[in-house]
Structure formats: C-alpha cells, structure tokens
Amino acid sequence: MISNSCAELETKSIFVGLSARQLQKLSQCMALRTFAPGEIILQEGSCEKSLNIIRTGKVRIFKSAEGGNRILLAELCGKKNLLTQYGGEFFGEMSLFDFEPVSATVIAAEPCEIWQITQADLLDLFSQDKDLQLTLLMNLVRVLSRRLRLANQHSQARLTARNLKGPSAKILEKTRH
C-alpha cells in the first residue's frame, strides 16, 4: 500500500467521481515509483502492462523513427491542467487494454513520482467493483477523446500549412489581389 490520501487521488483526472472507499481500494494496489530526469519509464516494444499516473513531475513520450531518431509525441505532467482543472496525466493505457506491446517510449523530463497499477490488479478491481470499473473507464475515454481531438487539430493544422506551401498558396495569393 502506498502512503497517499484519497484527497490527493481525487485531484487526478482519471479518478474523478470515485468514492473514498473506491480510492482506498485503488491506492492499496498502486506502487509509487520515482524516476530521475532522463530515466526510461516505459520502453517502446516492451510487454509491460500497467497504468501509470503522474503524481509529480513531467514525462516526454517519444516514438522511434528511421535512423535511430525519435519523434516527440507529447509531454505530460502531474500538475493541475487549466483546461480540465485536474492533474495527474496518465500513460500506458494503450498496451493495458489492447494487449499489444508498449507503443512509445516514456522518459522522465524532470524528477517524477509515478503511481503504477498493473493490468492484473486493475482487472481484479474491475471484477470486484463494477461501479469503479465504469467510472474509471469513462474517465479514461473522456481523456483519450480529448487527446484525439487535439491530435486531429494538430494534424489538420500541419496539413493546411503544408498544402499552403504548394500550388494552393499561389492560388490563395492570387485571390487576395
């Protein structure tokens, strides 16, 4: 069992709406791990199956590219987000639910404390408490939907910028005059 209060867990977006009893159950299954800047938390291609919630610090998520390069996909932190009014971003959920290897490498960008709950422990909790399961999964879907919307907006902006550099830019320029 880790030493944390239910009040602290309540501030994390993934745990919104859970009762004190449910938060206590979760906390009993979670391990608190610390990571130094530059330390790998999850390695792309590994078979680790855990949900990771950032208690403190910031992580960077990278995807491997050709030539040994890495593409930065995201930065997540444990601080309160002005958009959602909650903190404690999470990662590792994809391999937890799709049973595939970890899809990206996660590296500590600064000193981090990460709560981890294994797939086995989470599935055990889900079998014991269907309300906890529903609330947690709805919170996951809500955050993942927000991330997908942002990714779509970024993709659209990049495509628009790329298209405006070619023939479309010349047509647009002609219509302005």
Using an 8 Å Cβ cutoff, are 46 and 25 in contact? Answer: no
CATH topology of domain 6-138: Jelly Rolls (2.60.120)
pLDDT tens readout for residues 63-81? 998 888 898 888 887 765 5
pTM for the whole thing? 0.78
Amino acid 117 reads I
Residue pair 60/106 in contact by the 8 Å Cβ criterion: yes
CB count in 10 Å sphere of residue 38: 10
Residue found under tokens 């298209």: 163
Per-residue confidence band for 172, with pLDDT thresholds at 50, 70 and 90: very low
CA distance 116 to 123: 14
Strands 70-77 and 112-118, how do they pair? unpaired
Write out pLDDT tens, residues 13-34: 889 999 999 999 999 999 999 9
pLDDT (tens digit per residue) in 108-163: 999 999 999 999 999 999 999 999 999 999 999 988 888 788 777 877 777 777 77
At 167, list the tokens: 């023939």
- Tell me the pLDDT tens digit for each residue of 35-46: 999 999 999 999
Contact indicator for 46, 92 with CB cutoff of 8 Å: no
- Taking the C-alpha atoms of residue 23 and residue 10, their distance in angstroms, rounded to an integer, is 8
